[in-house]
């Protein structure tokens, strides 16, 4: 069972973050899936994601699916925002790429 850490109104699954760190540290390529659930509208959600270090291009504010980097690591993150009854669920589908 994973314990979620509350950062503002952003609920981040710490096991996902640790897994990313561990795989990067050990130099492995892998695919990690997880999700964060955020309160509020998409614009506020993107602002909060930026506050915790997720780099999101300004063009993403239009609501398009885009590629972002996570905490300045070479991880491509495809973020899909779906607004469902007042909540925005951010689904992270991550594939780690390490350049030699």
Which tokens go with 41? Answer: 């509208």
* Residue 34 confidence (pLDDT): 39
Sequence spans of domains, the chain: 5-96
Which tokens go with 86? Answer: 């007042």
* Residue 87 confidence (pLDDT): 40
* Residue 49 confidence (pLDDT): 63
CA distance 100 to 45: 34
- Mean pLDDT of successive 10-residue stretches along the chain, which has 100 residues: 37 50 48 38 62 62 41 35 37 40
25 by Cβ neighbours in 10 Å (0-12 / 13-18 / 19+) ranks as exposed
* Residue 51 confidence (pLDDT): 72
Level-2 CATH architecture, domain 5-96: 2-Layer Sandwich (3.30)
What is the pTM for the complete model shown? 0.29
What is the end-to-end Cα distance of the chain in Å, rounded?
A: 35
């Amino acid at each position: 069972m994973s314990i979620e850490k509350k950062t503002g109104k952003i609920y981040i699954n710490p096991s996902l973050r640790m897994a990313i760190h561990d795989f990067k540290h050990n130099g492995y390529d892998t695919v990690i899936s997880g999700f964060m659930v955020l309160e509020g509208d998409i614009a506020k959600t993107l602002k909060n994601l930026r506050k915790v270090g997720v780099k999101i291009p300004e063009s993403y504010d239009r609501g398009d699916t885009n590629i972002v980097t996570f905490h300045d690591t070479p991880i491509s993150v495809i973020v899909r925002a779906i607004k469902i009854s007042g909540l925005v669920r951010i689904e992270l589908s991550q594939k780690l790429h390490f350049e030699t």
